[in-house]
Amino acid sequence: MEIQNNVALATYTSWLIGGPADHFCRPKDVEQLREAQSWARAKGLPITVLSGGSNVLISDQGVRGLVICLKDFAGTEMSVEGGRFRLTVKAGTGKSELLKIFLKEKLAPALFLAGIPGDVGGGVVMNAGVAEAMVPREFTEITEWIEVLKPDGSLKTYQHGELKWSYRHSSGWEPGIITRVGIQWPHRQDPSILEQVRAANKVRLSKQPLDMPSCGSVFVNPPGLKAAQLIDSSGLKGYTVGEAQVSTKHANFIVNLGAAKAQDIWSVIQHVKATVKSQKSVELQTEVVRMGDWA
Ligand SMILES: Cc1cc2nc3c(=O)[nH]c(=O)nc-3n(C[C@H](O)[C@H](O)[C@H](O)COP(=O)(O)OP(=O)(O)OC[C@H]3O[C@@H](n4cnc5c(N)ncnc54)[C@H](O)[C@@H]3O)c2cc1C
């Protein structure tokens, strides 16, 4: 497997922002992942995992050490047994692939998956989900087990109940790299699922700036509150630093107007947090993960 040097990361992110990785590789299987781990360990370099890149803010200074990109680490196997639909999915498989499979099977998980970009492993890490009331609405509900490559090169499987799942977060599996995810759902078909997905997509398109680079919602909703409402009612829609802007369409999105720097986005985030704190006495927490050198 080729390990490249000085690779620009911006195009690997949904914000289209970020400096270079010192070293970069795209493993296809567990053997190549182990190879990448050993290579970094022998050189004493840190490892950063990048999957769909739809929830990360990568520094303008880039990422030191080895970035392992999971774009080529994809594939699915499916089975139906005892009325249960089961999939074994490699972590770098796009959620869009999962969506296609659930749509073909006319099963309910298609509805929440339609709203979330990125890959399946990233979906587990973030316990990705939607705010709308539906079943299922988060990754925890469809995940049966996960397999993790530990730093010593061993593979460990965790059952759902061994993990801790919370709002936009899972834990109990770290440290390591999620390699495969076991997904399950009752094989109870709903012929109207495609129509429901189409309707939900239409609503999303009308409410979210999906034509501009973003990472989706930047802040998690504080308990019982909506981050977007707090930001909007603090008068922050349209607030701009450089080419980073609080979306005029959805206040919890920060969009890249064209040539935004990571530092512009970070400045907007800091300003939004400070303004909401002073006007609403609420401490917003970021959902987006910062990566790389932020000296
Ligand atoms: C337009 C838009 C809309 C969005 N809407 C939603 C939404 O409705 N709901 C929602 O929850 N999210 C939403 N998101 C955010 C994002 O899509 C999710 O958080 C997604 O699950 C991130 O997956 P990813 O593969 O892109 O992860 P990445 O952004 O690549 O990584 C996220 C974090 O997970 C780690 N990671 C990723 N894969 C692995 C792995 N295999 N092993 C170990 N660590 C790993 C990374 O190191 C990083 O820390 C939206 C994003 C966009 C751009």
Set 41, 168, 204, 290: catalytic member? 168
Give the chain's largest Cα–Cα span. Answer: 56
Question: Measured in angstroms, how far is the CA atom of residue 215 from the centroid of ligand 1?
Answer: 8
pLDDT at 49: 98
pLDDT at 115: 86
- Ligand 1 near 98 CB (within 6 A): no
86 is catalytic: no
**63-79 tens-digit pLDDT:** 999 999 999 999 999 99
51 is catalytic: no
For range 157-166, the mean pLDDT: 98
For range 269-289, the mean pLDDT: 97
Return the domain boundaries, the chain: 4-69, 76-193, 210-291
Side-chain half-sphere exposure of 7, counting CA atoms within 13 A: 18
Contact 261, 60 (CB under 8 A): yes
64 is catalytic: no
Domain 76-193: assigned CATH number: 3.30.465.10
Q: Tell me the C-alpha distance between 45 and 15, whole Å.
A: 26
Contact 184, 142 (CB under 8 A): yes
Which residue in 193, 182, 168, 58 sits closest to 114, CA to CA?
A: 193
Answering whether pTM is above 0.95, one says yes
- Ligand 1 near 20 CB (within 6 A): no
pLDDT at 16: 98
- Ligand 1 near 69 CB (within 6 A): no
Kindly report the average pLDDT of the chain as a whole number.
97
**pLDDT score of 81 more than 90:** no
Cis peptide before 209 (omega within 30 of 0): no
Question: Measured in angstroms, how far is the CA atom of residue 130 from the centroid of ligand 1?
Answer: 13
The answer regarding whether domain 210-291 maps to CATH 3.90.78.10 reads: yes
**202-253 tens-digit pLDDT:** 999 999 999 999 999 999 999 999 999 999 999 999 999 999 999 999 999 9
- Ligand 1 near 16 CB (within 6 A): no
- Ligand 1 near 118 CB (within 6 A): yes
The CATH architecture to which 4-69 belongs is: 2-Layer Sandwich (3.30)
Q: Which atom of ligand 1 is nearest to the CA of 208?
A: 1
pLDDT at 201: 95
pLDDT at 242: 98
Query: pLDDT band for position 295 (50/70/90)?
Result: confident
Q: What is the dihedral of CA 286, 228, 124, 129, to 10 degrees?
A: 170
Question: Measured in angstroms, how far is the CA atom of residue 13 from the centroid of ligand 1?
Answer: 10
